[in-house]
Structure 1
């Protein structure tokens, strides 16, 4: 099955968010922010959440890549450009009603607390931030996550900038290390999750290629 990785079209953001919802349905950090509720369609709820989070970043300050197989989105990577984001406050404000509907007031406050904690751990150097990456269950284990990373990191390297992410699982960290990320400090303050920061420095293309 051929898988093509490319930039997402605006009309594909819903499908991209749905893939992230499937991938993060059991994520421990997300479970702390938005616990499952009895009788709800959790994938639909999380899809709305991820769609709002993507749109909370201005178009010019985000890159959303999709992996497509047979015209179906099967993988998504959501990157944020180096700060500051021009128009970022207005983009976020426009998503507040949807975020409140999904998270509730208490969940929104928990989310803000976690986000602030995570933002404080980010490096001072300009960098692209991998906010979310996920792959549909139907294609897991087929290298789709690696294809998404390679696609974005080639772009980051052309810009000669660093890249940063947080990872909650040792399995994912092995993938990120293969693409040049190194483990940083653990992020504290979570009840049932133990995310670790990971940093990939800017590559000087005049000296050599991107690390494998």
Structure 2
């Protein structure tokens, strides 16, 4: 999957934002935040299509992706404002979790409900393209990151990234992601990610950038 195209304005720290693990009952709000954040993302459109049903399909798609991936084999972080509202979310798959086919099969009914059989075939083809670009060394993989309406430009995305990357660094681990836009690539570069290649064959005018952040030496 792809991180949402965060903007450079997200580099500014918000006044008060707490980053914590998503609670078991927060899957729906997390998927809604991510679906809203990806509403205009051209790469996501290659997975879920366009039209009036796009938000519903994207929510269902993220629900299945998280249930079969980051929730079972990684971490889902949420950024919460002073009022307790979830402002943003980030999903990460842990090192060594790339091949969780049994969990994906278990979510097949949810994938089908969200995308239909034709959409599932399209999503599988896209995932195969993305998988070919993932580095072989073990790493944390940013499945998706997004900020909800009304919270963009406040640094929520950067706060989510910084929080998880501190833990990644403490574990001496590497990280990987795909940046949807040139603007988001610039932001990710400010966090130490390096451009590897452009991911072609996804049906978009400009493919996303695969980006690698090597493990940091432990102090």
What TM-score results when the alignment is normalised by the length of structure 2? 0.88
5 Å-filtered alignment, 1:188-207, equals 188-192=200-204, 193-206=206-219
Q: Determine the C-alpha separation between the residues in 2 that align with 1:141 and 1:201.
A: 27
In structure 2, the partner of 1:32 is: 46
Instruction: Give the 3 Å change call, closer, same or farther, for CA 20–76 of structure 1 in structure 2.
Output: same
**Secondary structure of the equivalent of 1:151?**
helix
Per-residue CA shift, 1:66-97, capped at 9, x if unaligned? Answer: 001111111000000112468x3332111101
In structure 2, the partner of 1:147 is: 159
Q: Determine the C-alpha separation between the residues in 2 that align with 1:80 and 1:43.
A: 23
User: Structure 1: where are the runs of 5+ without partners?
Assistant: 207-212
Instruction: Give the 3 Å change call, closer, same or farther, for CA 169–58 of structure 1 in structure 2.
Output: closer
Aligned structure 1 segments of 4 or more residues deviating by more than 6 angstroms: none
In structure 1, the partner of 2:168 is: 156
1:75 aligns with 2:88: yes
1:44 aligns with 2:56: yes
Whether the aligned pair in 1 keeps the contact of 2:92 and 2:141 (CA below 8 Å) is: yes
Whether the aligned pair in 2 keeps the contact of 1:182 and 1:199 (CA below 8 Å) is: yes
Identify the structure with bigger relative contact order (alpha carbons < 8 Å, sequence gap 6+).
Answer: 2
Per-residue CA shift, 1:113-164, capped at 9, x if unaligned? Answer: 1101111111111100001000012011111110000010011111111000
What is the RMSD computed on CA atoms of the aligned residues?
A: 1.6
Figure out how many residues of one structure are paired with residues of the other and give that number: 203
What TM-score results when the alignment is normalised by the length of structure 1? 0.90
Match of 1:134 among 146, 155, 177: 146
